[in-house]
Structure 1
Amino acid sequence: MTSTSFFARGDGLALAELAKICGGSLSVAASGDVRVTGIAALPDAGPEDVALFDNPRYRDGLAATKAGAVILSAKHAPLLPFGVVGIVVKNPSHGFTLAGRALFPAALRPGMLTSAGGIAPTATVDISAQVEDGVIVEAGAVVGPRAEIGRGTIVGCGAVVGPDCRIGRDCRIGPQTTVINALLGNRVILHPGVRIGQDGFGYSAGPEGLLKVVQIGRVVIQDDVELGANTTVDRGSVRDTVIGENTKIDNQVQVGHNVEIGRNCILVSQVAVAGSVTIGDGVVIGGQTVINGHATVGDGAQIAAISAVAGDVPPGVRWGGVPARPMREWLRELNTVRSMSGTRRVPGKQDE
């Protein structure tokens, strides 16, 4: 089978320009006019590619690479093989991210699945909906009564935008995504299969059995939020579920009703956030972690993967375990148990 790339290369950038974008300098100043058009791993890179070197364990790959340029730190620059240009930066991983963004801007957000623009003949847009010029509604999508969608937004194939929902400008509503009872800001990205605004999980036990609790709140998603595939965000019960600006949520995350998530947070895959949780700004939550209902996670806190948060977490701490507790305490307990059983010590810094 012929190798196919789904992201076409453009005209590329001169190394001098790319070094400026990355905030670095060239190891060989005379190579500034050389152009690169792509990014690749060290073993696969060719003369038109930029590669990353940020770990000495890949020293052999660096020695054998045929990349046009390698982004690396000053301390690793002496390892560059003859003929390979270095882009020397303080933070190679961040520099490589900037390079990728510059060379493949179309890969930053999901694009159209069909070639036609505008509103597809098989899409359904209610006559009372307000759709600005430049909106694309792809095949099979539905836009409900009184919905409002800003210019530059793409509503993917089979997606549903419910009645009275508002979606800002330059958003991406992925295929088979459902947006109901929700207000979205600008540049929001919802990957395929995201479910926004369904009622939360709430029942009241009584003589009649389980009675469903009414959920009449909304979901409010602020600017530059990105939600991964098959993530679900329940609407509030009597107040809103809110996700703050520039927060990034991975695939298959559950956000319950009345949850408030701050700005610039990261929630990794399969995190489950129960109802009425408050998460501050800049919080990082590792994969498969559970946050118990009504808990508060303070600004800047970090929770290790596969943890269970039973109560409030102070700002700026690093916690982990089941139940979650300070990282140093958790690792000390693990090491004590392992030493009692004769197994090896758990790696990690005990003074964190």
Structure 2
Amino acid sequence: TSKYTVDLVDRHVAAMRKLCKTCCNGFLLLHLEPLVELLRLAVTRFSQGQFELAPALCEFTRVSSQPFVSCKTSDMITYGHHLPSFIKVLVSVLGYTLPLEEGHEAKDDTEARGASEHKRTMCERIRIEIAHTLACWARFGLDEDSIELRPNQPLIQAVADSGTPNLRILRQSQVMDALSSSFRAEDSPEAIVITLGAIRDMSLYRPLARQITNCGLISNLVHVIRVNLLGSDVLLVAAEVLWNVLELDWEGATEALGQEEVIESFRDFMDAVLTRGYRFKDKIFRNDMMVLLMYISKRVENRPLFASTGSGAKIDS
């Protein structure tokens, strides 16, 4: 943190990478508070132009995808309250790694163009690593052995009501805001697929489903379906997220989906799947669309849109 060493970026990178190598099986909960400060400093300097930190941030994020290690049984109680801050700082780097818009990249200078391409590749790698880490966090603990179930209580109901320790941490970190902003601009197919997987698991927990609605991510999911229509696993995952959100936040989600352009999109989806959908996945998607439309139509204010857009006639046909 000294002003006299701020420019020794190569040494800072080497120190972070050595730390990651030493803790390759997971960071210690004991070190959580200084890890948050280290990560915050690295993200701040990365945002100020020290792009050389990108590989170190990638490695740091990769280690963060693994469960934190306890030295004592009380470590989670003693240090666990720093975990939401850790995740919040980690995802904050997404704001500095967004894809460049066309016209902002160097075109004339070959060297500058090469540097720009390298930066684009590294930024994409960071986004992928963060998406993978969030996916690991969201998935961890989603099984009957990890969740205490009441008699005759389905696992999915228990997750919706109580979540898992990791899902509760993700909720406290307000990760969805940063994730949705990044997802809107994402152009990497790999990052989109991994991020969708993370969002799918987060959408199983009611408070996170509400955050998905509130941050405006629903319209982006509709766009993902539009550009991946027919025969794609991506659209099935996006439809699954919409289904989860409609089940757990019906009021907010049906209001968000009650727009003419959204209903028109669903009409086009149904038209495509009914006229050209012959694969098994297309039939699954058709059934998903029917359920989603049923949920949306339960809101009385949305019903006129089914008539004005022709969606009702398309379903009847």
- Do the two structures share a fold, i.e. TM-score over 0.5? no
Q: Larger strand proportion, structure 1 or 2?
A: 1
Give the number of the structure whose alpha-carbon radius of gyration is greater: 1
Q: Larger helix proportion, structure 1 or 2?
A: 2
What is the TM-score with the length of structure 2 in the denominator?
0.28
More contact order relative to length (CA 8 Å, sep ≥ 6): 2
